[in-house]
Structure 1
Amino acid sequence: MSKLRVNGFTLSLDGYGAGPDQTLEHPLGVGGEALHKWLVTTRTFHQMVIGKGGGATGVDDDFAIRSFENVGAWILGRNMFAPSRGEWPDDDWKGWWGANPPYHVPTFILTHHKRAPIEMEGGTTFYFVTDGIHSALEQAKAAAGGKDVRVGGGVSTVRQYLEERLIDEMHLAISPVLLGSGEHLFAGLDMVKLGYRCTGQVATADATHVMIGRA
């Protein structure tokens, strides 16, 4: 049965999934890039994102590998695709990742502003959904062909799906970094009342990996 998953979603020690003031120069907000040391050193990141060999194996890489297994579609918030707000300023911007994004499956972008689909290299096609999270999930599940749908973020998008109790399982990587401000994942959310519990945890030098599932 197809699941809605969050994988490899990195938080700071104080609960922020991104730093403040996202810009073209700071796509993860100020200080946000420091959260992802556990990921960017892995062999999986080197192969799937950088497109080169190298990188470390081990527990962090094992979690990175799992995060891409059995994924048939992605859902992303607009900030995960572009730094702009409001109406699309132009049609030249095609995401943060260049011509060959690391998704390689249909990817649905939540937005309030219409835009035609964008077909990229490597099997990624970006679709822009203007009628909410339920519509995006319905379209993503249809496109996934029985495989799982992965919510890639950002924080606001994950929170919306959590509030509706739609996420089946989560893997969070808690990085030993303090941000002080930014986008907080759990502020105001009662995860126990929403029906979630911690199902496991593993610590490495660069992250504590926490698994959350339905109670």
Structure 2
Amino acid sequence: MTGKVRVNAYSVSVDGFGAGPDQSLEHPLGVGGERLHHWFYPTTTFQTLFGESKGETGVDDGFARRSMEGMGAWILGRNMFAPSRGGWPDDGWKGWWGEEPPYHVPVMVLTRHARDPIEMKGGTVFHFETGGIEAALEKARALAGDKDVRIGGGAETIRQYLTAGLIDELHVAVSPVLLGRGEPLWQGLDLPALGYEVVSSTAGERATHLILNRVAKDKR
């Protein structure tokens, strides 16, 4: 039995952007993109991930906590791993998160440029997949066993998996901010035609949490 393919705790603005524009080393989430995650930063789950002992509990923390449970592998787009473009520079870059990333499982990074795996502290191993989204998912499932595979982003990676009908469950946290520009999540997607429906909407302390599921074809 294989686990689900899911997106969890993916923050979007009210106008539908999953990151701000002009990502760089100084702006990992794009300009203004950090505001999307203001619901997540104060939670006990986030604070614990980065070695702090105190944080807020409540609705937002409940969604944050569940987002980290039951995972056997992650899939990330290249821009979620590094600010560089094109061939990999010889700069020693190992991700945004320091020597012990918060994943603790294998992570497939989508890229057009091959590279050897990188083993990090705490069980995270970054694998670099050049064969596209389906090849990455096949390998992630093999690594995850009966646990879930989480698609971490960014927006274009999630859009590709949605378009292919490969995501079983999608949790987005709608933050009460407007970005105006950035990386659009929903643009051009006909989600009902792709088989998705909203199954719950929950107001948290700092965001509204939407759960979308993929519906079986015979139930559409």
The equivalent of 1:89 in structure 2 is 89
State the alpha-carbon separation in 1 of the partners of residues 146 and 117 from structure 2. 22
Q: Deviations over 1:105-154 (max 9, x none)?
A: 00000000011000000000000000100000000000001100000000
The equivalent of 1:203 in structure 2 is 203
2:58–2:205 CA contact under 8 A, matched in 1 = no
The equivalent of 1:135 in structure 2 is 135
* DSSP 3-state at the match of 1:193: helix
State the alpha-carbon separation in 2 of the partners of residues 52 and 206 from structure 1. 20
- List structure 1 segments (4+ residues) > 2 angstroms apart after TM superposition: none
TM-score between both structures, scaled by the size of structure 2: 0.96
Question: 1:169 is matched by which residue type in structure 2?
Answer: E
State the alpha-carbon separation in 1 of the partners of residues 214 and 125 from structure 2. 31
Identity %: 62
* DSSP 3-state at the match of 1:8: strand
The equivalent of 1:34 in structure 2 is 35
Cα drift, residue 205 of structure 1: 3.1
2:15–2:179 CA contact under 8 A, matched in 1 = yes
Aligned residues: 214
Cα drift, residue 91 of structure 1: 4.9
The equivalent of 2:15 in structure 1 is 14
State the alpha-carbon separation in 2 of the partners of residues 165 and 214 from structure 1. 8
The equivalent of 2:218 in structure 1 is none
Question: 2:24 is matched by which residue type in structure 1?
Answer: T
- What is the root-mean-square deviation of aligned Cα atoms in Å? 0.7
* DSSP 3-state at the match of 1:142: helix
Cα drift, residue 204 of structure 1: 2.0
State how 1:1-215 maps to structure 2 within 5 Å: 1-48=2-49, 50-215=50-215
Cα drift, residue 2 of structure 1: 1.0
Question: 1:170 is matched by which residue type in structure 2?
Answer: L
Question: 2:195 is matched by which residue type in structure 1?
Answer: G
Question: 1:11 is matched by which residue type in structure 2?
Answer: V
Cα drift, residue 183 of structure 1: 0.6
* DSSP 3-state at the match of 1:143: helix
Q: Structure 1 stretches of 5 or more lacking a match?
A: none
2:43–2:55 CA contact under 8 A, matched in 1 = yes
State the alpha-carbon separation in 1 of the partners of residues 208 and 99 from structure 2. 32
Cα drift, residue 52 of structure 1: 1.6
